[in-house]
Amino acid sequence: MGSSTTLLVLLFVLGNGVAVTMGRFLRTEVEVIEEDLDEELFLVKESKLVANTSAGKMVVFYDRRVPERLQIATTTMEPRSLMIHRFLAATNVMYVVSGEANLGYIDQNNQRLTQIRLREGDVYQIPAGSAFYIANEESDQKLEIISGIEPSQGLGDDVFQSFYIGGRANSGLSGFKKEILEAAFNVSQEELGTFFTGQKMGVIVPLQGSHATGKWSKFLELKEEEKLQQLREMVQQGQENEEVEKEDEESGDDEEEQQQTSLPWRMLFKSVFGEEIKNTREKITEDPPRSYNLNKRKPDFENKYGWRVAVDGSQYHPLKSSGIGIYHEYLSAGSMMAPRVNPMATEYGIVVNGSGRVQVLFPNGSNAMDTNITKGDVFFIPSNFPYCEIAHKGESLELLGFTTSAQRNRPVVLVGARSVVRTMEGPELATSFGVSKEEIKHLVSAQHESVILPTP
């Protein structure tokens, strides 16, 4: 029996021995696969353009078929630009592909404005329920970010929902009735008109060049305490208005309207800023988490054909709360990742550079997908589905990815010098293939490389 035929049979046997966790795929897709193979079954083709201005662009990729779903977002920001303040009801694990970012968000533990500088290769998690902004203050360098986002399950929307604090058309505040905003901010209608019509560009705006964006530049120039004080003044105004509303409610004046006024703001303030607003000079006893630089981490595996590095909650503590892991891998031209399977998590990958090919099998061993991938393509691998990636002969392949588990989670390598078949080599394995001990020993010992292999 030829080695290629034996390897195929081996993959079928291993595939049949894997527990099936995605029965829906097996019931619906395997029946079709024999007659009409979908060569792009696990490519993520659905996307939404969340932001597109002269200052930057953000695209979200999603797939409604995946039970353990993540959404992959790619963000590009021009020099001197800002992604305006937003409230995101989803965990956001960010990776800086290139450039540098100034990130500011309200830390949920100590209710202060946390500011951190992120550089190329940095990983940072923004917890669900945080208000934040991202600024690219560099004058000559674009900022590129890839994010793995775990959306909340509340509304069942295809794409995560963002509540933008600033901006005009996108602001989550501007839709309130004028009388509600007047009471909440404690300012006149004329003042509110200027506030909510000044920014016309959208989600990503320039930091220079117009009066409309000047307030953002000024905000970023403030010291940390001054920034937080501005936000807290809004909160304080809301609290004072609630006291007035309570008095009015007790007198029975316009009770229904007063409830409409206070409820949205009370929910917002409690969600973003917490039940109590602490003094800005209060000593902070708990430091915010630092970023984790993936580029400086020694690869988990490396040889002359490529490398792979993965980070989970044991290396970067904030990931424990999200249940998201992250990995980065590089294959030199013509090399391949050995066939493997992830029994614990669904994996998502996006091609950062280069091009190649990815093949995925159903757990029963039949071919699920075999397709070419190039820069910008997003795909996912369901747990317990064997797969491998191959770089094209004339070009390397670089992938960044996220997994739905933050535990110590490594794919199980099926073939190679350090693999399942090498460990299982013996008379039992020979019997399962119906070959001699000599033949099985030759087959499983022929490959001297591990994890990342040369292609013929």
Q: What would the pLDDT profile of 246-293 be if each residue is shown by its tens digit?
A: 555 555 544 443 333 333 334 444 444 444 344 433 434 456 678 999
Same domain, 11 and 69: no
CA neighbor of 203 nearest in space, from 172, 227, 175, 179: 172
Same domain, 23 and 115: no
Q: What is the pLDDT of residue 28?
A: 43
Q: What is the pLDDT of residue 25?
A: 47
Q: What is the pLDDT of residue 420?
A: 85
Q: What is the pLDDT of residue 122?
A: 97
Burial of 266 (0-12, 13-18, 19+ CB in 10 A): middle
Q: What is the pLDDT of residue 236?
A: 55
Residue located via tokens 């996108």: 170
Q: What is the pLDDT of residue 124?
A: 95
Inside any domain, residue 42: no
Q: How far apart are CA 25 and CA 32, in angstroms?
A: 11
Structural domain count, the chain: 2
Mean pLDDT for the stretch of residues 376-384: 94
Q: State percent of the chain over pLDDT 90.
A: 35
Q: What is the pLDDT of residue 76?
A: 97
Strand 162-164, strand 101-107: pairing: unpaired
Q: Does residue 313 register a pLDDT over 80?
A: yes
The SS3 call for residue 238 is helix
Residue located via tokens 């190039």: 374
What are the helix and strand counts (H, E) for the chain?
A: 11, 25
Same domain, 147 and 118: yes
Same domain, 124 and 232: yes
Element containing residue 322 per DSSP (H, E): helix 319-322
Q: Which of 23-37, 45-59, 64-78 has the highest mean pLDDT?
A: 45-59
Mean pLDDT for the stretch of residues 441-455: 89
115 or 353, which is more confident: 353
Question: What confidence tier does 449 reach under pLDDT thresholds 50, 70, 90?
Answer: very high
pLDDT digits (tens, 9 = 90+) for 60-111: 998 877 766 789 999 999 999 998 877 777 889 999 999 999 998 876 665 6
Inside any domain, residue 41: no
Whether 104 contacts 82, CB under 8 Å:
no
CA 139 to chain CA mean position, Å: 27
Mean pLDDT for the stretch of residues 418-425: 85
Q: Does residue 352 register a pLDDT over 90?
A: yes
- Core vs surface per residue 103-114: b (16+ CB within 10 A) or e: bbbbbbebbbbb
Question: What confidence tier does 223 reach under pLDDT thresholds 50, 70, 90?
Answer: low
Q: How far apart are CA 26 and CA 102, in angstroms?
A: 45
Q: What is the pLDDT of residue 180?
A: 75
Whether 452 contacts 415, CB under 8 Å:
no
Same domain, 136 and 284: yes
Same domain, 136 and 176: yes
Same domain, 19 and 63: no
Mean pLDDT for the stretch of residues 142-148: 97
Q: Does residue 351 register a pLDDT over 70?
A: yes
Lowest-pLDDT choice from 73-87, 146-160, 315-329? 146-160
Mean pLDDT for the stretch of residues 165-185: 64
Inside any domain, residue 331: yes
Whether 294 contacts 309, CB under 8 Å:
yes
Q: How far apart are CA 391 and CA 375, in angstroms?
A: 12
Q: Which domain holds residue 246?
A: 47-289
Same domain, 212 and 126: yes
The SS3 call for residue 290 is coil
The four Cα atoms 412, 414, 420, 424 give a dihedral, to 10 degrees, of 160
Q: What is the pLDDT of residue 406?
A: 82
Last-in-domain residue among 235, 257, 289: 289
The CATH number given to whatever domain includes residue 342 is 2.60.120.10
Mean pLDDT for the stretch of residues 223-232: 62
Q: What is the pLDDT of residue 131?
A: 80
Same domain, 325 and 255: no
Residue located via tokens 């291993």: 14
Last-in-domain residue among 235, 261, 289: 289
Return the sign of the alpha-carbon dihedral for residues 276, 280, 286, 288: positive
Q: Does residue 186 register a pLDDT over 90?
A: no
Element containing residue 257 per DSSP (H, E): helix 255-273
Residue located via tokens 């202060």: 112
